């Protein structure tokens, strides 16, 4: 008999920008490609832009909605997030903070995030570190556990004017450390929930 602790971990790699021509699509693909070389979990690339989520205007607070949301987009988003055991947030930094569309998506659902692990891959003119610091505070709302390791990339040195993305050589090792910590934490949280 297979138990929940025997089940392969499902890790969502969420690209949190919805802008046309977003750098996050390339960063997310890079994360997914390197993660896909591992055999200790199943990784799924989730493009927030594919959900066309409306602004959160529902009268019912998402945490009290019992996973029954007011739009099909939000329902689908909730199901896909619920299916994950942990996440890698691929986040840009917009105006010294988190991107609004990603924050809206986070706020639009509730229990699907609860008690799961999260790691951060960021990019921006200052490598996205301010967005990550804000995310660390935000995810605590749902008792998410963030891992210490992160990957932070500078738009001026790791992206070119034509939109090409060439991460610094050390980034693959940094991502490996992030994923090691994330999977260890995800397993511990899953085992504690038994």
Per-residue model confidence as pLDDT tens digits over 153-194: 999 999 998 889 999 999 999 999 999 999 999 999 999 987
Per-residue model confidence as pLDDT tens digits over 32-89: 999 999 999 999 999 999 999 999 999 999 999 999 999 999 999 999 999 999 999 9
Do 26 and 165 form a contact (C-beta atoms < 8 A)?
A: yes
- Model confidence at 1, pLDDT cuts 50, 70, 90, reads very low
Which pTM value belongs to this model?
0.96
DSSP 29: H
Domain 8-192 fold: Rossmann fold (3.40.50)
Cα distances (Å, whole numbers) of residue 105 to 112, 121, 166, 184: 12, 17, 28, 26
DSSP-derived 3-state class of residue 113:
coil
Do 121 and 179 form a contact (C-beta atoms < 8 A)?
A: no
Q: In angstroms, rounded to a whole number, what is the distance separating the alpha carbons of residues 179 and 34?
A: 10
Q: Which residues contact 164 (CB under 8 A, 6 or more apart)?
A: none
């Amino acid at each position: 008999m297979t138990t929940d602790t025997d089940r392969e971990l499902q890790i969502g790699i969420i690209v949190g920008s919805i802008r046309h021509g977003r750098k996050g699509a390339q960063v997310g693909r890079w994360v997914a490609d390197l993660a896909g070389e591992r055999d200790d979990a199943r990784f799924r690339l989730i493009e927030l832009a594919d959900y066309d989520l409306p602004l959160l205007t529902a009268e019912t607070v998402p945490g009290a909605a019992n996973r029954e949301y007011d739009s099909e987009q939000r329902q689908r988003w909730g199901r896909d997030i619920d299916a994950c055991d942990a996440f890698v947030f691929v986040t840009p930094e917009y105006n010294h903070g988190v991107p609004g569309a990603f924050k809206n998506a986070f706020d639009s659902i509730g229990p699907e995030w609860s008690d799961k692990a999260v790691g951060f891959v960021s990019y921006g003119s200052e490598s996205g570190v301010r967005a990550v610091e804000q995310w660390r505070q935000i995810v605590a709302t749902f008792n998410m556990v963030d891992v210490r390791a992160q990957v932070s990339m500078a738009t001026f040195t790791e992206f070119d004017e034509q939109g090409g993305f060439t991460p610094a050589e050390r980034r693959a090792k940094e991502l490996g450390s992030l994923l090691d910590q994330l999977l260890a934490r995800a397993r511990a949280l899953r085992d504690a929930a038994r």
